[in-house]
Amino acid sequence: MKRTLAIETVEKIGQEVLLQGWVDTRRDHGKITFLDLRDRSGIVQLVLTGSRLVSKQGETPTTEDVIEVTGIVKDRPAAMVNPKIPTGTVEVEVKTLKIISKAKELPFPIDTDGYDINEEIRSKYRYLDIRRPRMTRNLRLHSKMTNFIRNFLIARDFVEVETPILTKTTPEGARDFIVPSRLQKGKFYALPQSPQQYKQLLMVAGLERYFQIARCFRDEDPRRDRAYGEFTQLDLEMSFVTQEDILQLTEELFTTLVKEVFPHKHIAQSPWPRIPHAEVIKAYGTDKPDLRKNKTDPDELAFSWTIDFPLFTAQSKEDFYYGSGKAKFAPSHHMFTAPHPEDIPLLATDPLKVRGLQHDLVLNGFEVGGGSIRIHQQTIQEKIFDLIGFTKEQKAQFDHMLTAFTYGVPPHGGIAPGVDRLLMAVLGEPSIREVMAFPASSSGTTSVMEAPSDAAPEQLRELGITIVPQKK
Amino acid sequence: MKRTLAIETVEKIGQEVLLQGWVDTRRDHGKITFLDLRDRSGIVQLVLTGSRLVSKQGETPTTEDVIEVTGIVKDRPAAMVNPKIPTGTVEVEVKTLKIISKAKELPFPIDTDGYDINEEIRSKYRYLDIRRPRMTRNLRLHSKMTNFIRNFLIARDFVEVETPILTKTTPEGARDFIVPSRLQKGKFYALPQSPQQYKQLLMVAGLERYFQIARCFRDEDPRRDRAYGEFTQLDLEMSFVTQEDILQLTEELFTTLVKEVFPHKHIAQSPWPRIPHAEVIKAYGTDKPDLRKNKTDPDELAFSWTIDFPLFTAQSKEDFYYGSGKAKFAPSHHMFTAPHPEDIPLLATDPLKVRGLQHDLVLNGFEVGGGSIRIHQQTIQEKIFDLIGFTKEQKAQFDHMLTAFTYGVPPHGGIAPGVDRLLMAVLGEPSIREVMAFPASSSGTTSVMEAPSDAAPEQLRELGITIVPQKK
């Protein structure tokens, strides 16, 4: 017999069906036992009487067992109808029962929202934590959201291109993860902090409209809106555009996304406010203001743009560039952001006054994306390298970009919204880990599996590295 | 003025348009010069006379310069119509010309198929190599193909879930890349050879239908159908299914994919032949036979399944498991593949005779995917670990899987076709690198950027590792 999903039972009254899924709840009422069977479509009530409660193997089903039943779908008596669930008008009178896989008692409840459960325990048993309806919903929405984004962009002539994970550092202000090379011992790949250079190279290649739902890696401390180690961003880049084009496309994308994927959410203000950096700092003391009119409304989404950032800030010790050359300037976005055309003369006289063509996307107080118009002229790029104090050697690391700029390069720019962070902000989840399947803990330990872990001596030998003994 | 794409000119006869793009070709005919302007939509002919050939900056456009022109779209004289291109009936009489970005002479031609050009040079200037129409087409088809796959699966209730890149080894027969941890010095992450364990855990989590276009990493020698370092696979897994369900879904997916995305290709035989391993070896001497009827037909696609693989092979020195315990058996697929139910008694008596529920997808002589029904019973999984000779310590590495199997686990299985490899085989490209944007070279050097490269001493100090000086 073909499997029927829980949700499909309502269309099969009087018919015999085969159902497979988990025992969601069990309620014993003397000679009758009710089981709720849960599958990917929802739950349906099973009615078991007498010997039918014992499986062929002689076992009785308990919560979270995986079972297979056959039975007849019946209308429920009027008094028993449950209007809260889509299958609330029916029940299945079980004829045969098979226990496919027994479940031990779970380490924590999964019928609650789970916020109060120790996060390490949730992480260790993530495969059970995901059974929680809230977590299942979040993962489904994640998938729906990325699929919507892809179709939106592909319908507008964008091409999704995969760029390498084993690559070279692009300093973007965070620490790289590095991967020792076996074929070139003593050398290392870096995991990309973003596909910044590759997307610009794809513009030089003439694709004109690129995007990628791209994995990015930063070895920096986690926060509530930043998971440790890796995250996913919608990386998009366009040629022959102005900043206005990027802002409009992004606004249209996320406005239709909210309408289609999160229809119970509403956007506070359209078009989205655009606030120059100096103004937003003055008015709100932050460059990511929370512009909700009613902060207690969980369904209100207040998007805004922060624009007209200064191109440079003073260098701090944390900067990749710190102490190099004679420079005092650090890029406030990154070193490929174009200066405002009106301010180019200031590069020579007062760099801190130069505005950059950067745009940050803000949602309910979170920075959910950033981007810019990029430099596409070799001379300006070199000037920026000088101002941030690149040594000759540091410049040499980016020779390929300067070279690329000599072969006919279109003006281009883009934006990179964080996918998980956006979903977190839209759903009002308290942490980004609530929208990820297997997030790492703050100490960098992975979900379920115990990594990082020891490497085999043979692996290290092949890679030509050794571990430095640490002082206690 | 709003930009007009090359292809749109045919609908704008008599109108003034603004075009932006690259100079594809230049033909001088005395007082008249013809330029073909190329943008993402195709090419259109520009006609320049007299002073209009000189830009505002006093320069004349040459091949691969990025230009912006305004002009009037006109019908071409009948004798000048070029039926080979979609804009062959029109030309644009240029009024103004601006050179946005000058191009030096390119290091190689991009109007050829490029197969004869040194691959290192192509790789170094990949951003130019991609301008080659064949490469642009391949990248566009890659995007179209993955988008088709995603929509096909999402319409069938699949959920795309991202699984970690910084994770723990799942030995799948290849060498891991490892990433030193800064927060837990002396320990290492592994980059996933596939999301094998995560997808099985998502089945335990109750998602029932998961997929991911997933990046996988293997530190093994490249071949024509395998790029060095990383590749992409369509990773899909289903619960409550038989091998038949997986084969049918895959066949439907790729049959409709070919019809929609590669309409000029034709599938040699449907339904696809399913050949038991012993038979295919006997008949063809390989488990990936090339079943094309006419091997000179570049548009013929011969899909087939190889099934009924032996579950085990004898261990070789290359096996992860080699020498551990007293075992002589290596999994021929991987250690999570379920034995054929009829053969379970043979596990105790004659393991090499046990068939596994493995299926390999073959296209024109390439293995383009493999999968299996997985073990979902703790006792059988432990038995397999014993047979492949896991020590207590090795078993402990997979405790989380055995634990997961005690909480109610559905029968499940899947398949993982290689996305790039499939595209290579469908297009008949001679190497997988022809369908990737930025493939690494066989020595592991990345395209365009020079990686792997030196790490800063400070980075190594933070990670607690040092480089072992290599003997020359």
Enumerate domains of chain A plus CATH numbers: 6-101 (2.40.50.140), 131-435 (3.30.930.10)
**DSSP letter string, B321-384:** TTTSTT--EEESS-TTBPBPGGGTTHHHH-GGGPBB-EEEEEETTEEEEEEEEBP--HHHHHHH
B450, amino acid identity: E
Query: B389 and B218 in contact (C-beta within 8 Å)?
Result: no
Chain A residue closest in CA terms to B208: A40
| Contacts with B450 from chain A: Cβ below 8 Å | 168, 400
Q: How far is B186 from chain A (nearest CA, A)?
A: 6
Of A20, A204, A446, the CB nearest to B167: A446
> Looking at the DSSP assignment, which residues form a beta bridge with residue A273?
none
Q: How many Å apart are CA A400 and CA A169, to the nearest integer?
A: 13
**How far is C-alpha B401 from the chain's CA centre?**
29
The ipTM, to two decimals, is 0.96
CB contact under 8 A, B139 and A159: yes
Q: How far is A372 from chain B (nearest CA, A)?
A: 19
A227/B contact by beta carbon, under 8 A: no
Q: What Å distances lie between residue B420 and A109, A152, A191, B439, CA to CA?
A: 42, 24, 21, 11
CB contact under 8 A, A166 and B451: yes
| Contacts with A450 from chain B: Cβ below 8 Å | 168, 400
Query: Best of A63, A143, A216 to disrupt the B interface by mutation (most B CBs within 10 Å)?
Result: A143
Sequence-distant (≥ 6) Cβ neighbours of residue B294 within 8 angstroms: B300
Helix count (H) and strand count (E) of chain A? 12, 20
From its phi and psi, is residue A255 left (phi > 0), alpha (psi between -120 and 50) or beta? alpha
Q: How far is B188 from chain A (nearest CA, A)?
A: 5
Q: What Å distances lie between residue A352 and A1, A220, A243, A311, A357, CA to CA?
A: 73, 27, 21, 7, 14
Q: What Å distances lie between residue A197 and A202, A376, B27, B235, B324, CA to CA?
A: 9, 12, 34, 28, 45
Q: How far is A140 from chain B (nearest CA, A)?
A: 6
Beta strands in B8-65 (DSSP E): 16-29, 32-39, 42-49
Each residue's pLDDT tens digit, B335-394? 899 999 999 999 999 999 999 999 999 999 999 999 999 999 989 999 998 888 888 888
| Contacts with B438 from chain A: Cβ below 8 Å | 163-164, 198, 201
A180/B contact by beta carbon, under 8 A: yes
A396/B contact by beta carbon, under 8 A: no
Please give the average per-residue pLDDT across B184-191, as a whole number. 95
Beta strands in A273-342 (DSSP E): 274-276, 300-301, 303-307, 312-314, 329-331
Query: B311 and B355 in contact (C-beta within 8 Å)?
Result: yes
Of B190, B208, B455, the CB nearest to A451: B190
| Contacts with B215 from chain A: Cβ below 8 Å | 162, 165, 215
A44/B contact by beta carbon, under 8 A: no
CB contact under 8 A, B400 and A201: no
From its phi and psi, is residue A243 left (phi > 0), alpha (psi between -120 and 50) or beta? alpha
Question: CB count, 10 Å around CB of B438?
Answer: 22
B59/A contact by beta carbon, under 8 A: no
> Looking at the DSSP assignment, which residues form a beta bridge with residue B35?
B26, B46
**What is the torsion angle, in degrees rounded to the nearest 10, for the CA atoms of residue B103, residue B106, residue B112 and residue B116?**
-160
Query: Best of A467, A470, A471, A472 to disrupt the B interface by mutation (most B CBs within 10 Å)?
Result: A467
Of B131, B207, B451, the CB nearest to A40: B207
A187/B contact by beta carbon, under 8 A: yes
Query: Best of A5, A23, A167 to disrupt the B interface by mutation (most B CBs within 10 Å)?
Result: A167
Query: Best of A7, A66, A194, A220 to disrupt the B interface by mutation (most B CBs within 10 Å)?
Result: A66
DSSP B444: S
Q: Pick the closest to residue B214 from B205, B197, B224 (CA basis).
A: B197
Each residue's pLDDT tens digit, B95-124? 999 999 999 999 999 999 999 999 999 999
| Contacts with A187 from chain B: Cβ below 8 Å | 451-455
How, if at all, do strands B90-101 and B42-49 pair? parallel
Each residue's pLDDT tens digit, B18-69? 999 999 999 999 889 999 999 999 999 999 997 777 877 788 999 999 999 9
Could you report how far apart the first and last alpha carbons of chain B are, in Å?
Answer: 64
CB contact under 8 A, A143 and B159: yes
DSSP A104: P
Low-confidence ranges of chain A (pLDDT < 70): 170-172, 317-327, 472
pLDDT, residue A111, reads: 95
pLDDT, residue B319, reads: 67
pLDDT, residue A360, reads: 97
B102/A contact by beta carbon, under 8 A: yes
Of A147, A446, A454, the CB nearest to B164: A446
Q: Which of residues 310-339 of A touch B (CB under 8 A)?
A: none
Query: B414 and B236 in contact (C-beta within 8 Å)?
Result: yes
**How far is C-alpha A279 from the chain's CA centre?**
30
CB contact under 8 A, B455 and A188: yes
Q: How many Å apart are CA B42 and CA B4, to the nearest integer?
A: 12
The sign of the torsion formed by the CA atoms of B262, B267, B273, B276 equals: negative
If DSSP codes are grouped into helix, strand and coil, which group holds residue A451? coil
B344/A contact by beta carbon, under 8 A: no
> Which spans in B370-452 are helix H?
378-387, 392-396, 399-404, 419-427
Q: Nearest 5 degrees, angle CA B178-CA B412-CA A11?
A: 135
Q: How many Å apart are CA B448 and CA B107, to the nearest integer?
A: 14
From its phi and psi, is residue A30 left (phi > 0), alpha (psi between -120 and 50) or beta? left
pLDDT over 70, % of chain B? 97
CB contact under 8 A, A161 and B142: yes
Sequence-distant (≥ 6) Cβ neighbours of residue B180 within 8 angstroms: A178, A180, A465, B187, B188, B463, B464, B465
Each residue's pLDDT tens digit, B116-172? 999 999 999 999 999 999 999 999 999 999 999 999 999 999 999 999 999 997 666
Q: How many Å apart are CA A168 and CA B260, to the nearest integer?
A: 37
Of B161, B180, B240, the CB nearest to A143: B161
Query: B347 and B396 in contact (C-beta within 8 Å)?
Result: no
Please give the average per-residue pLDDT across B290-319, as a whole number. 90
* H-helix or E-strand spanning residue B138: helix B133-154
Q: Pick the closest to residue A178 from B109, B91, B188 (CA basis).
A: B188
pLDDT averaged over every residue in chain B = 93
Sequence-distant (≥ 6) Cβ neighbours of residue A399 within 8 angstroms: none
Place of tokens 């703790």: B378
If DSSP codes are grouped into helix, strand and coil, which group holds residue A17? strand
Query: Best of A3, A196, A200, A207 to disrupt the B interface by mutation (most B CBs within 10 Å)?
Result: A207
pLDDT over 90, % of chain B? 83
pLDDT, residue B393, reads: 81
Query: A431 and A224 in contact (C-beta within 8 Å)?
Result: yes
Q: How many Å apart are CA B405 and CA B267, to the nearest integer?
A: 40
**What is the torsion angle, in degrees rounded to the nearest 10, for the CA atoms of residue A51, residue A52, residue A58 and residue A62?**
-120
A156/B contact by beta carbon, under 8 A: no
From its phi and psi, is residue B240 left (phi > 0), alpha (psi between -120 and 50) or beta? left
Question: CB count, 10 Å around CB of B408?
Answer: 27
Name the burial class of residue A263, with classes exposed (0-12), middle (13-18) and buried (19+) by CB atoms within 10 angstroms of its CB: exposed
Each residue's pLDDT tens digit, A66-96? 999 999 999 999 999 999 999 999 999 999 9
Name the burial class of residue B324, with classes exposed (0-12), middle (13-18) and buried (19+) by CB atoms within 10 angstroms of its CB: middle
How, if at all, do strands B358-363 and B366-373 pair? antiparallel
Whole-model pTM? Answer: 0.96
| Contacts with A466 from chain B: Cβ below 8 Å | 465-466, 468
Chain B residue closest in CA terms to A177: B179
